[in-house]
Structure 1
Amino acid sequence: MRLLVVGRLSGQLAVAVKMAMSQGAKVQHVEREEQATEALRRGQGADLLLVDCGLDIAGLIAANKAERIHVPVVACGVDVGPDEAAAAIRAGAKEFIPLPPEADLIAAVLAAVADDERPMVTKDPAMQGVLRLADQVARSEASILITGESGVGKEVMARYVHAKSRRADRPFISVNCAAIPENLLESELFGHEKGAFTGAVARRIGKFEEADGGTLLLDEISEMDARLQAKLLRALQERVIDRVGGAKPVKVDIRVIATSNRDLAQAVREGVFREDLLYRLNVVNLRLPSLRERPADVAVLAEHFAKKYAAANGVPERPFSAEASALLRTYAWPGNVRELENAIHRAVLLADGPEIGVEAVRMPDGRTLSPSLDQGAAARAVQAADAVTRNFVGQTVAQMEQALILDTLGHCFGNRTHAANILGISIRTLRNKLNEYAAQGVAIPAPQSGAATAA
């Protein structure tokens, strides 16, 4: 989480900054509005601006918008009345924080903006299988497409891969392609030169250059405009970008991870997503199962969130009652991990007594949660998960190696070169293994259209 504080760093604002840093935020500071825009222009990126209410918030937001810089603003101030706070919101601030600050409020605002401090918590075999593949490919340079329903933890997985990669000590930059207006996204990604458009008063460094040497996450890539898809494809192929209004290409060294909650193959068939870009992004696919498909994760995640929010809200840790645990296991969680987290946060606040009971586990509108899986279905789901683990028992090393090679090849759409790189073996070794399997009558994934092969 990168926080840019704008204002005189004294008194209560300094206290707020210390609280933010205690929550893991990486803080930069400037005193004036124009310095904030200049810092963002130069590529000193920020996920959030915390701005003193006494400054010209409307002018700062307008200056950023004129240069196609998209960073949310939170206003703050001491002894600020309701009218002034409302004026800051009307000026474009997303939220207002009164000073002196409350630690819980600072933590909530930062948590709403970034997910960079979320650990990977899992116990279910279905999810652990995905983690094994993530571990296997993390140190490669392959582009990765992470797919799954909304709320399953795609960005958490992307940060996990980055942390396990050879670029772990370099920047991790995330761009939500669905949250940024189409006319701003190009400058956000590629930057622009002075005079490229009205309001471009200086060169602006985009996210590709901010992420140089590290990882760039393109969140919800399916929402990207077709014209930008073509420009992104060139950046991935050539490892160069063109700033808007630029006269010469700029070299970049990044690893791209993309996420989508849509079926991109279907989007290709519908003509709204480029097939060649899909192949570039989808060298390896990590499909995250929904929470319904990983029932063993519900309990461990619920326990993790209960401890997290008990500490954040200064309330005692409480275990779940047997009835509450059963309710959590049998609810379908259509909003996946995100919905579970919000439900546990509410339950921690509403619980009264030595345990978190069913009466504390409520919907956002206050209704109590109702089971949406019968006990038999839940039991069958757990049995199916256990079966995944049992399938590995009794297999020889050669059988496991064959399964790993063929699974990796399938994830790479039959691309032998990519599969060999991920597996850490030569293309000759891979070809010999595949020839050996074919001689045994094993079906070998063939290269799909657009997937080159060196075999």
Structure 2
Amino acid sequence: MRLLIIGLLGGEVGTASKIARDRGAQVACADDIATGLAHVRAGKGTDVILADVALDIAALITGLRSERISVPVVACGIGNDARKAVAAIKAGAKDYIPLPPHAELIGAVLTAVAHDERALLYADPRMAAVLALADRVAASDASVLILGASGTGKEVMARYLHGRSKRAAESFVAINCAAIPDALLESELFGHEKGAFTGAVARRTGRFEEAHGGTLLLDEVSEMDPRLQAKLLRAVQEREITRVGGSQTIRINVRLLATSNRNLEACVRDGTFREDLYFRLNVVSLRLPPLAERRGDIPLLASHFIAKYAELNGADARRLSPQAERLLIDYAWPGNVRELENAIHRAVLLANGEAIGPEAIILGPPESGTVRATGSRTEGTASAEPVTVGTTLADMERSLIIDTLQHCFGNRTHAATVLGISIRTLRNKLRQYASEGIPVPPAGQLVGLQE
């Protein structure tokens, strides 16, 4: 994980830098905002910025946004200056860390932004076959196309390949082609020169240059505009790029990995993806089976997520009961590993006793209530009102909130966590329902956890 600290390194900020290094982060330092922005523009790689609140945090975030640089900023400052902390958050900082720094707090921030810790776990024979092929091609420089439905772990596989390649000591750079507007994606990939477009106040290095010597992952490459595909093809063929607004060609040395959740052969046939680019990227292809086709992985992944979220939430690491494990194995998992992770996170929060039982497992869309799996089809038992034509959004929201609160045994804090809203928002909603004469589940507590 790459951390940029902006601020004078004397005293507490220097201590934070040492803690981060001890936690395994690659730390770069800049004394002021201008130097920090220059570091980011140069493509040296930054996953998060820790900035001294004594500096102009608003100017830093405005500078990043104006140059279309997406890097999370965490503010830090001496003591508990609420005014500066609030100003930093309002300016766009993701969090605020009081100094002197606490080692565990610094570690939590790093964990929240680190992506390299995602492990590739498997036990099912189908996944073992995919890994065997991955191991055979990992050490080469061949382009690899990783295919699979959303949530199957395509980026995790890409990092696995990079970690076992001869480029493992160099940068792994990933860019989500589906998440960036077409007008910005070209600049993200190839960089730009000063004045190339409105907001290009300085030269910026793109992801190709940032990944020089290492690996570049084009995530969901099938979503790329055909015009940009032509420029990408030239970069792949000629091993050189030209920045937006520039004329100088720049030699690059990267290994390309690409992912897609679509049938690229069908995309080639319907003209939305270039055939020549497809063949350049598809030297080797790895197809990740959906979770429903590798059910042998489910108990192992569930145990991993239980340990992860128990530690994250300060809860006891419970085992799965046989009934809960059977429930997970029989479910269809349309959302694949990502859906399993979310289900286990909820179960860790809701479980009572020494084991996680089926009563703590909530599967399917939130409005469907608790789901029991039978083969590939599911049957739900929801206490929420059925959604029919004429049902208002307010009625749907109320049903979902009350149903979730019942699942959480009346515990407001954990219901808010499951719903993804603040505890204040939840309490305001409940007060509104009570004033309207709607029965609200009484407040309760999960064993060992306080409201």
Q: What TM-score comes out, normalization by structure 1 length?
A: 0.74
Contact kept in structure 2, 1:9 and 1:31, CA below 8 Å:
yes
Contact kept in structure 2, 1:307 and 1:317, CA below 8 Å:
yes
Change beyond 3 A, Cα 1:365–1:104: farther
Query: How far apart, in 1, do the equivalents of 2:376 and 2:212 lie?
Result: 50
Report the alpha carbon displacement of residue 130 of structure 1 after superposing the two structures with TM.
0.8
Match of 1:178 in 2: 178
Match of 1:137 in 2: 137
Q: How does 1:422-437 map to 2 (within 5 A)?
A: none
Report the alpha carbon displacement of residue 101 of structure 1 after superposing the two structures with TM.
6.2
Match of 1:253 in 2: 253
AA partner of residue 247 (structure 1): S
Query: How far apart, in 1, do the equivalents of 2:17 and 2:370 lie?
Result: 38
Q: Give the SS at the match of 2:71.
A: coil
Q: Give the SS at the match of 1:75.
A: strand
Query: How far apart, in 2, do the equivalents of 1:233 and 1:186 lie?
Result: 13
Change beyond 3 A, Cα 1:176–1:112: farther
Cα deviation, 1:174-233, whole Å, max 9, x if unaligned, reads 112222333332222112233433443443222111111111111111222222211111
Q: Give the SS at the match of 1:134.
A: helix
Identity of aligned residues (%): 59
Report the alpha carbon displacement of residue 40 of structure 1 after superposing the two structures with TM.
1.1
Query: How far apart, in 1, do the equivalents of 2:310 and 2:24 lie?
Result: 18
Query: How far apart, in 2, do the equivalents of 1:63 and 1:236 lie?
Result: 31
Cα deviation, 1:147-185, whole Å, max 9, x if unaligned, reads 111111111100111111121222111112222333332
Q: Give the SS at the match of 1:285.
A: strand
Change beyond 3 A, Cα 1:40–1:8: same
Could you say which structure has the greater relative contact order, defined with CA pairs below 8 angstroms and 6 or more residues apart?
A: 1
Match of 1:269 in 2: 269
Change beyond 3 A, Cα 1:96–1:365: farther
Change beyond 3 A, Cα 1:46–1:92: same
Query: How far apart, in 1, do the equivalents of 2:292 and 2:374 lie?
Result: 9
Stretch deviating more after TM superposition (169-178 or 263-272): 263-272
Match of 1:158 in 2: 158
Q: Give the SS at the match of 2:216.
A: strand
Contact kept in structure 2, 1:359 and 1:368, CA below 8 Å:
no
Q: How does 1:192-203 map to 2 (within 5 A)?
A: 192-203=192-203
AA partner of residue 52 (structure 2): D
Match of 2:229 in 1: 229
Stretch deviating more after TM superposition (38-47 or 336-345): 336-345
Query: How far apart, in 2, do the equivalents of 1:375 and 1:194 lie?
Result: 55
Match of 1:48 in 2: 48
Change beyond 3 A, Cα 1:244–1:164: same
Q: Give the SS at the match of 1:145.
A: strand
Q: Give the SS at the match of 2:174.
A: strand
Match of 2:286 in 1: 286
What are structure 1's unaligned runs of at least 5 residues?
A: 378-455
Query: How far apart, in 2, do the equivalents of 1:14 and 1:258 lie?
Result: 39
Query: How far apart, in 2, do the equivalents of 1:109 and 1:84 lie?
Result: 19
Q: Give the SS at the match of 1:286.
A: strand
Match of 1:395 in 2: none
Q: How does 1:116-127 map to 2 (within 5 A)?
A: 116-127=116-127
Match of 2:189 in 1: 189
Stretch deviating more after TM superposition (346-355 or 95-104): 95-104
Query: How far apart, in 2, do the equivalents of 1:90 and 1:180 lie?
Result: 24
Contact kept in structure 1, 2:332 and 2:377, CA below 8 Å:
no
Over 6 Å off, 4+ runs = 100-105
Stretch deviating more after TM superposition (71-80 or 215-224): 71-80
Change beyond 3 A, Cα 1:248–1:26: same
Report the alpha carbon displacement of residue 278 of structure 1 after superposing the two structures with TM.
1.3
Match of 1:241 in 2: 241
Query: How far apart, in 2, do the equivalents of 1:90 and 1:221 lie?
Result: 34
AA partner of residue 373 (structure 1): T
Query: How far apart, in 2, do the equivalents of 1:82 and 1:316 lie?
Result: 33
Is 1:4 matched up with 2:13?
Answer: no
Q: Give the SS at the match of 1:372.
A: strand
Q: How does 1:20-31 map to 2 (within 5 A)?
A: 20-21=20-21, 24-31=24-31
Query: How far apart, in 1, do the equivalents of 2:12 and 2:348 lie?
Result: 29
Contact kept in structure 2, 1:104 and 1:313, CA below 8 Å:
no
What are structure 2's unaligned runs of at least 5 residues?
A: 379-451
Query: How far apart, in 1, do the equivalents of 2:8 and 2:354 lie?
Result: 45
Query: How far apart, in 1, do the equivalents of 2:270 and 2:58 lie?
Result: 41
Stretch deviating more after TM superposition (325-334 or 1-10): 1-10
Report the alpha carbon displacement of residue 117 of structure 1 after superposing the two structures with TM.
1.1
Match of 2:60 in 1: 60
Stretch deviating more after TM superposition (189-198 or 4-13): 4-13
RMSD across aligned positions (CA): 2.9
Match of 2:439 in 1: none
Contact kept in structure 2, 1:74 and 1:97, CA below 8 Å:
yes
Q: Give the SS at the match of 1:28.
A: strand
AA partner of residue 286 (structure 2): L
Query: How far apart, in 2, do the equivalents of 1:353 and 1:12 lie?
Result: 43
Query: How far apart, in 2, do the equivalents of 1:76 and 1:312 lie?
Result: 22
Query: How far apart, in 2, do the equivalents of 1:12 and 1:354 lie?
Result: 42
Query: How far apart, in 2, do the equivalents of 1:334 and 1:107 lie?
Result: 33
Q: Give the SS at the match of 1:371.
A: strand
Match of 1:373 in 2: 374
Contact kept in structure 1, 2:331 and 2:377, CA below 8 Å:
no
Q: Give the SS at the match of 2:145.
A: strand
